[in-house]
Amino acid sequence: MNDRKGRPAGLRERTRRAVQAEIVTTAMRLFLERGFEATTMEQIATEIGISRRSLFRYFGTKEDIVLGDHAAHGEVLRAALEARPANEPPWEALRAALRELLESLPYSAEDFLKITSMLHASPSLRARQLEKRQQWTELLVPDIARRLGAAEDLMTQVRAHALAACALACSEVATETWVRSGGTVDMERAFDEAVAAVRG
C-alpha cells in the first residue's frame, strides 16, 4: 500500500488505515441492523473495543463514517472518465464512467440497496451526500471541458459544469427510482430516461 507520492506507507499509516476499515465495516453492519439514526458513536466504539475518544480520532461524525469513502469514489469516477476515448462525446463518456464506478463498489446488490436506502432515508446523510456530489462535479469538469474543445473558455466551463452536474443529478434520480422499486427497476434504463428528459 503506497502513500499519495507512490512511496510505501509506513507502519503507523497502514495501522491507521486498517483501524479505519474496521470501524467502517463494523459501523455499516450496525447501521444496517439497527438503523442509522438509532446507532450511536458510543455503540460503534463499544462494538469495536475502543474508546469513544479514540473513535473520534478517526471519524468526527456518523456521517463521516458512511460517506468517508465518497471522496475516493469521486477519484475513481474521475479516473474512469479520463480513461474514456478522447473523442467520445461528454454524455456517453459520463455514462460509461458512472457505470464503471457502480461496478467497482465492493457490495452485493442486496447490501448496496440497503446502504442506498439508508442514505436516502436520513436527512443528515442526504445533506452530506449533496455536498460530496458537488465535489464530484468539480472533479469531472476539467475532462468534460476538454471534450467540448476549449477548456479555458469561460462559457465552455459553464457548459462543462452543467453537463457534469446534470449527469450526477440523473444518476441520483435513477438511484432513487431503483431504491423506491426495491431494486426491481433497471438503474441504467432509469438513468437513460432521465438523460433523455434533460436533453429533450
Cα separation, 94 vs 104, in Å, equals 15
Give residue 136's pLDDT.
93
Which DSSP category does 149 fall into?
A: T
Give CATH for domain 11-63. Answer: 1.10.10.60
What is the model's pTM?
0.79
Domain formed by 69-199, architecture: Orthogonal Bundle (1.10)
- Cα dihedral across residues 65, 66, 71, 76: positive or negative: positive
Burial grade of 65 (CB within 10 A; 0-12, 13-18, 19 or more): buried
pLDDT of amino acid 6: 54
Q: In terms of Cα–Cα distance, which of 131, 129, 132, 120 is closest to 36?
A: 120
As a whole number of angstroms, the distance between CA 78 and CA 72 comes to 10
3-state helix, strand, coil in the chain (%, to 5): 75, 0, 25
Instruction: Enumerate the domain spans of the chain.
Output: 11-63, 69-199
List 2's β-bridge partners, or say none: 8
- Nearest-angstrom CA–CA distance, 26 and 67: 14
Please report how many Cα atoms fall inside a 13 Å half-sphere around the Cα of residue 87, on the Cβ side: 0
Sign of the dihedral defined by the CA atoms of residues 117, 122, 126, 128, in that order? negative
Give how far the C-alpha of residue 160 lies from the chain's centroid of Cα atoms, to the nearest Å: 20
Q: What are phi and psi of 2, to 5 degrees?
A: -110, 160
The C-alpha cell that represents 21 in the structure block? 476499515
Q: What is the pLDDT along the chain (200 residues), one digit of tens a residue?
A: 454 455 556 788 888 888 888 998 899 899 988 888 899 999 999 999 999 999 999 998 898 888 877 778 899 999 999 999 999 999 999 999 999 999 988 778 888 898 888 888 888 888 888 888 889 999 999 999 999 987 678 999 999 999 999 999 999 999 999 999 999 999 999 999 999 999 97
Q: Are 135 and 124 in contact (CB under 8 A)?
A: no
